[in-house]
Structure 1
């Protein structure tokens, strides 16, 4: 296992995107992750409802020491324990589980906690979430993030769902500190064997859409 046990905020802030991989195989990871890193991204989430998720997380931690490797779809303390045992450096949830947030805060592991309403977002933040994953943002869009941040401007928001190459810049412009992206970051046609160069070019062009002025320092 890598010596780097803690999440690198510096690496994340240089490319504030959590890449979400669900249902992937070892072979796919071996092809995709070097491309992802070479394109300038540093943070990847393997969802816990992926077959063999803990093995994949452990493998990524071992083989890519400069990558932030996290566990997603963590809904329970059982999920959390398995993710941490595998070496996850950050935790992403689709829901607000108080126990999970409090435990992550206690042990110093960042949690990106799923919430939607202003009340849920505020509660997740006050419980100790490192950032609040506004999910599913696909139904609400950029305007919702802007509206929430008007009164709750000290909360770090990480919209997830519905973030695309076409609108990613807008999310940062209204104050998001990062975004979560799955299929729009890893389009299925570009995940196929032999498409690595096309995927690389796509990822590089997407990264250019992130306004550098909004990236934290």
Structure 2
């Protein structure tokens, strides 16, 4: 079997190196490149022959926890992406899959889980490691933001994750007035609070794990 060529993107050098060493010890994996920033990732995505991208979340230069997926797909629409992150809240996991990631692997998972995820992603198939499958399980279809459109959910979560109004305007591509209208007319009735209370509301709904 030809090895699966992998690019690892993680801004923590020691973690990236440890993942690289572990994967290179597998018979099916070959780490061809490691990126430590968004710019580095995008440049290498354009120039390297990569079968599977293993990417952390929360990179500087992206908006929101899962923004890196959109950023990478704009450069490489066909990218086969595995998210490898310490984040473990259900909303983030579901958002990664909905944005097209083929697997979500916690950084404290068994190494065999990541290797299996790579094997399945190499085939273009979505995969749930056991711990993630147990978490999403029956809750996969449960949505505490039911009633909001995908754009409205994105506006809500961007503010929850700490984005400024200017960053939300740039990410969503609509005016400040339109965003305020969405907040007051659509989002507030669903989450039960104004923008200042979005983070606390998200915590109560189980969408985030803690408040800074």
The structure that has the greater radius of gyration is 2
User: TM > 0.5 between the two?
Assistant: no
TM normalised by structure 1 equals 0.35
Identify the structure with bigger relative contact order (alpha carbons < 8 Å, sequence gap 6+).
1
Name the one with the larger helix percent. 2
TM normalised by structure 2 equals 0.36
